[in-house]
Structure 1
Amino acid sequence: MTVTKGRRQRRPQAPSEKSDQRRHQVKRAIFAVCLLLLAAALAALGTWQVQRLAWKRDLIARVEERVHAAPATAPARADWDKVNAADDEYRRVTAAGTLANDKETLVYASTMLGPGYWVMTPLTLADGTSILVNRGFVPTDRRDPATRREGQPSGPAEITGLMRMTEPKGSLLRSNDVAADRWYSRDVAAIAAKRGVGAVAPFFIDADATANPGGLPVGGLTIIHFPNNHFIYAITWYGLAAMVLALLLFILRAEIGRSRRE
């Protein structure tokens, strides 16, 4: 006697079960879309870091070229409005005039020589305008000009150094206290106003390592360093995007397998 087995009939789903299933499907679809958007955002961040890497490398190359170029005459008053960080930061320049030592300003500094101060002195040019010059570093116990008279020439002076852009308001951690004459950044406009300096350039010059009489101030301590971690950041963002895509693929495969079983 032959027994024929019939195909197992699927139990009809109740309306509530169908409704729950649709809700679950919508939730899973929304979650999948969110993962896809997240992966796209992470990949975009990685691409942005790649672009930043190219920009940083170009910046470093340009600055290296400026630092090692022959010095040019510092921009005159007619060209001050054209000065900008992108084109002029760290350019080697020279300026000739007379140092107004009675108007020097001490700005707190932390250097490889220890804590102390930058000596910021106006250089009065032939046309009556001034350029603020960072003549270099002095230790705390030599902050009084009377302890370093040899380093304060009264005659004509020629300064060679790097153009730097003004540092308004203060440092990252501390603000300048103009009233108390305490300075934590080289704010050209504020220092000039405090010392009664008239027409002053919107930049200052970091003097080079040419020795000053008596050995102070010590110039040539400009640190040129541009952190360049953009490649690592790009790899990180792309890696996170790949992980999110892998999670999305795992979920989709699981859902496909579930649908086939059902």
Structure 2
Amino acid sequence: MWLFGLLACLVAAGLAGLGTWQLQRRAWKHDLVARVDARLQAAPVPAPTDCAPACEPYTRVFVSGLFAHDRETLVQAVTEAGAGFWVLTPLMAEGGTILINRGFVPRDRRDPATRAAGQVAGPVRVTGLLRLSEPGGAFLRANDPAAGRWYSRDVAAIAADRGLSRVAPYFVDADATPNPGGLPQGGLTVVAFPDNHLVYALTWFALAAMVLGATAYVLRDARRRAGARSA
């Protein structure tokens, strides 16, 4: 029975280790949320021309330039406004090209001709949130540039498909500043970080306690039976 007890203790230690790891993850997540909240509350800064050493996601930025509406890309989206598309439009800025997620349009307004007022000509200034590229596609759905089907905002793939050069390796989610005609609708970025780490930690600790409790019961019962046989 000593081997059984040893194995049970090892299992319990492993479960307790997982619980401790979840508590560490919880501390990391809370620090991340605090840093993102600080960026969201900060004044916008000029959009960087590169990401050296690294761009901080959800930084408020601004950039000026000209929209290349003829090279916009529609990315499938589900938002609080319903199902439709994100409109990603290249902004030709002084330091290069930046993809701007101008906002949401419903399915029946995917054709730019149905929202012509929003196809702004001339210099513009965009304020929004810096977002990291989303390469590959969405869950179980790969981007298909040849068919014009996009499920994620993959900056490099969109730039290649649209023949863009000197493109920043991120995109910018435009804020809620209204566009002429009301579309695209910006300001729909959802900033949320799941935080279930405490629940997971308590679950692992509870399992560890159950293993130890069950082991103690089994060993105690084994000793009782052994004592009864020897009596």
* TM-score, scaled to structure 1: 0.85
CA distance in 2, matches of 1:215, 1:118: 14
Q: Which amino acid aligns with 2:15?
A: L
Counterpart in 2 of 1:238?
205
Structure 1 residue 82: Cα displacement: 2.0
Q: Secondary structure, in 3 states, of the residue corresponding to 1:60?
A: helix
TM-superposition CA deviations, 1:120-170 (whole Å, max 9, x none): 00111113x101000000011110011111101111011100010000010
Q: Secondary structure, in 3 states, of the residue corresponding to 1:201?
A: strand
Aligned pairs for 1:1-262 (under 5 A) are 28-76=1-49, 79-84=50-55, 88-127=56-95, 129-261=96-228, 262=230
Q: Secondary structure, in 3 states, of the residue corresponding to 2:187?
A: coil
CA distance in 2, matches of 1:61, 1:148: 38
Structure with bigger gyration radius = 1
Counterpart in 2 of 1:25?
none
Structure 1 residue 174: Cα displacement: 0.8
Higher share in strand:
2
CA distance in 2, matches of 1:37, 1:63: 39
Q: Which amino acid aligns with 1:66?
A: R
Counterpart in 2 of 1:12?
none
Q: Secondary structure, in 3 states, of the residue corresponding to 1:185?
A: coil
Q: Which amino acid aligns with 1:111?
A: T
Structure 1 residue 260: Cα displacement: 4.1
CA distance in 2, matches of 1:259, 1:169: 62
Structure 1 residue 259: Cα displacement: 4.4
TM-superposition CA deviations, 1:172-223 (whole Å, max 9, x none): 1311001111100000000011111101001000000000001000000001
Counterpart in 2 of 1:20?
none
Structure 1 residue 63: Cα displacement: 0.9
Q: Which amino acid aligns with 1:54?
A: A
Q: Which amino acid aligns with 1:90?
A: Y
Structure 1 residue 31: Cα displacement: 1.7
Q: Which amino acid aligns with 1:156?
A: P
Q: Secondary structure, in 3 states, of the residue corresponding to 1:117?
A: strand
Identity among equivalent positions (%) equals 57
CA distance in 1, matches of 2:36, 2:51: 20
Q: Secondary structure, in 3 states, of the residue corresponding to 1:80?
A: coil
CA distance in 2, matches of 1:111, 1:155: 29
Structure 2 spans left out of the alignment, 5+ residues: none
RMSD: 1.2
Q: Secondary structure, in 3 states, of the residue corresponding to 1:158?
A: strand
CA distance in 2, matches of 1:93, 1:103: 22
How many residues align? The count is 229
CA distance in 2, matches of 1:124, 1:211: 20
Moved more, 143-152 or 29-38: 29-38
Q: Which amino acid aligns with 1:237?
A: W
Q: Secondary structure, in 3 states, of the residue corresponding to 1:82?
A: coil
